[in-house]
Structure 1
Amino acid sequence: MLNFKGKKRVDKLDSKEEPETGKRKAQVLAVWGSPGCGKTTISVKIAKYLAEKKKNVILVISDMTVPMIPCICPMDELENIWSLGNVLAAPHITKGLIEENCIVHKKIKYLAMLGMLRGENEYTYAPYEAEQALEFLAGMRELSSYIIIDCGSYIANDILSAVALMEADAVLQMVNCDLKSISYLASQLPLLQETKWKVERHLKTINNIKGQEAINHMEQVLGKVNFQIPSASEVTEQGMAGNLLAGLEGKKSRGFNNEIEKIVKEVYGC
């Protein structure tokens, strides 16, 4: 069984030889939506679910304005700490370069992460172009069959997120039950429709649901909704504590866990 080794360089990331429990429908999932809708939380929970099923998964957190690696788990749980900025700033991005900069978790051996670190921002490293972002995605496709990209909300100025939305096999389009999310979609969806983004690949998802009345209203605005993720106090507490990779044990989290499982089955077929 292949897995991510706790070394400076990951020895072997390819999961093509893993036994399958179902037909995979996608390789790269982009998670995108309005600011504060829970993109990182859902991305982390999907990655953890796959890792627990012994799938080699790479989680990429693309936000350069608010580095989220320090918000996912205690830093002492990580085997090494490398920055996504090291990869994107390279003139030419290779599979080996990505391997060298993967962050490995000490306890979750099937999970590797890439993201910006505390105190870094978009000006910490040399600027990159769409060419590097495309090379980055191509390199990751060689490394793993399960890739999750937590995209930034401001896609007009975020090259990696924009390229990920164009190149991903599936997009989890997320909103909360609020007017801010509706306003965001009204502003950003025209950008998608005017470019290469294939909106038919988008799986509409309402997150942090607290009441049926709000769901009905959002469905009127969005049309068909693929997933409805209920609010879970345990998830909120983990987010506040910076421990999103912890498990969910409470009975009130069952609805949340069930929706994560549905998303994985729909996207990856497992």
Structure 2
Amino acid sequence: MAKIITVWGSPGSGKSMFCCMLAKALTRDKRKAIIVNADNSVPMLPVWLPEQLVPANASIGQVLSSVEIDTALTASHVTVLKAYPFIGLMGYCAGENPLSYPEIKYDMAVGLIMAASKLVDFVILDCSSTMTNVFTPAAIESGDLVVRILTPDLKGIHYLKAHQPLLADSRFRYDRHMTFAGLARPFHAIDEMGHLIGGFDGLMPDGKEIDRCATEGGMFQAISYCNQKYTASLNKVLEGLEPEKEENQPEDMPEHRQEECADEQFK
């Protein structure tokens, strides 16, 4: 069963970019990962893969609107990156919108996540910023490790304060989430913003090269341009996965699965 990493947070905070970088970091030793995005307001397959032809029947919407979700159906709707064959993607196709499919049901979202977790080593859930998209709370409940990313400004702070009551139930383990400041810029009052929410666990600074990768359709190349603060945040996620992996690891697991989760690039 895969480790499930959930990434949620305020709009425009760099969640999808972080998911791409995390997938690259987790698959450097040929383990496999799937990034799942069920935000039907912004189809992500053409954003991730601007130069790769994606058939219309690859849409995650077809899985979420099916009668029953199993591993075979889920696997048939995973699009593999040609340049990075250990990373698979699930999302909506170009031209699709919230009216393209029936409303997502909570149990179907959970079923998709569980089916995907049987296919690979890691499932990364790239959530919508709105809780009315039930995939987001389902992903938060399902995550083995949950990361919330906020813009370090008043919009990010008030987004969190508005959504915190919606995650008060113990099944969401709100107090165990890691909190990162996304798209942090020099003019942001990081310390002051962190004080309002109890502090940030790390920073994901904005950068021209990273921004260029996002705007030009090269999100999976952005990891090459991470500065030390960004890679430190990636390391915290990798380290957060490591103890559970070691604790549950069988003695006869292949050697490449026993390697430390952070390689030299992220130290």
TM (normalized to structure 2)? Answer: 0.83
Amino acid at match of 1:260: L
Where does residue 211 of structure 1 map in the other structure?
186
Partner SS, residue 192 of structure 2: helix
Mean Cα deviation higher: 220-229 or 57-66 = 220-229
Equivalence map 1:1-270=2 (5 Å): 27-76=3-52, 82-155=58-131, 157-194=132-169, 196-211=171-186, 214-250=189-225, 253-268=227-242, 270=261
* Alpha-carbon displacement from aligned partner over 1:17-43 (angstroms, at most 9, x marks no partner): xxxxxxxxx811110001111111111
- Equivalent AA in structure 2 for residue 55 of structure 1: R
Shift of the alpha carbon at 1:211? 2.7
Query: Quick check: 210-219 or 103-112, which moved more?
Result: 210-219
Q: Cα 1:78–1:254, aligned 2, differ >3 Å: closer, same or farther?
A: farther
Q: 1:142-199 CA distances to partner (integer Å, 9 max, x unpaired)?
A: 11221100011111x2111111111211110110111110111111111111563211
Task: Determine if contact 2:48/2:218 at 8 Å carries over to the other structure.
Answer: yes
Amino acid of the residue matched to residue 200 of structure 2? V
8 Å contact kept, 2:6–2:126: yes
Q: 1:77 to 1:244 in 2, by over 3 A?
A: farther
Indicate how the Cα distance of structure 1 residues 93 and 248 shifts in structure 2: closer, same or farther if over 3 A, else same: closer
Q: Number of paired residues?
A: 244
In structure 2, how many angstroms separate the alpha carbons of the residues matched to 1:65 and 1:149? Answer: 16
Matched residues, percent identical?
26
Between stretches 164-173 and 217-226, larger displacement belongs to 217-226
* TM-fit CA distance, 1:248: 4.3
Partners of 1:262 and 1:119 in 2: how far apart?
36
| Partner deviation per Cα, 1:211-262 (whole Å, 9 max, x = no partner) | 3862211221121322222222211111111210125445x73443343233
AA of the residue aligned to 2:196: V
**1:12 matched to which residue of 2?**
none
Residues 111 and 202 of structure 1: is their aligned pair in 2 closer, same or farther, counting only changes over 3 Å?
A: same
State the secondary structure of the residue aligned to 2:171.
coil
Q: Which residue of 2 aligns with 1:4?
A: none
One-letter code aligned to 2:149? M
> Secondary structure of the equivalent of 1:101?
coil
The answer to whether the Cα contact below 8 Å between 1:79 and 1:104 also exists between their aligned partners in 2 is no
Q: Verify the 8 A CA contact 1:175 1:206 in the aligned structure 2.
A: yes
Partner secondary structure for residue 190 of structure 1 = helix
* Aligned 8 A contact 1:33 1:39 in 2: yes
Task: Tell me if the contact between 1:67 and 1:117 (Cα under 8 Å) persists in the aligned partners.
Answer: yes
Distance (whole Å) between structure 2 residues aligned to residue 145 and residue 233 of structure 1: 32
- Structure 1: segments with no counterpart, 5+ residues: 1-15, 17-25
The separation in 2 between residues aligned to 1:177 and 1:108, in whole angstroms, is 32
Distance (Å, rounded) in 2 between the aligned partners of 1:57 and 1:217: 36
- Higher relative CO (Cα under 8 Å, sequence separation at least 6) belongs to 1
Unaligned runs of 5+ in 2: 244-260, 262-267
Distance 1:249 1:30, change over 3 A: closer
Name the TM-score, length of structure 1 as normaliser: 0.83
Q: Name the CA shift for 1:30/1:70 in 2 (closer, same or farther; >3 Å).
A: same
Q: In the aligned structure 2, how far is the partner of 1:84 from the partner of 1:238? A: 24
CA RMSD for the aligned pairs? 2.3
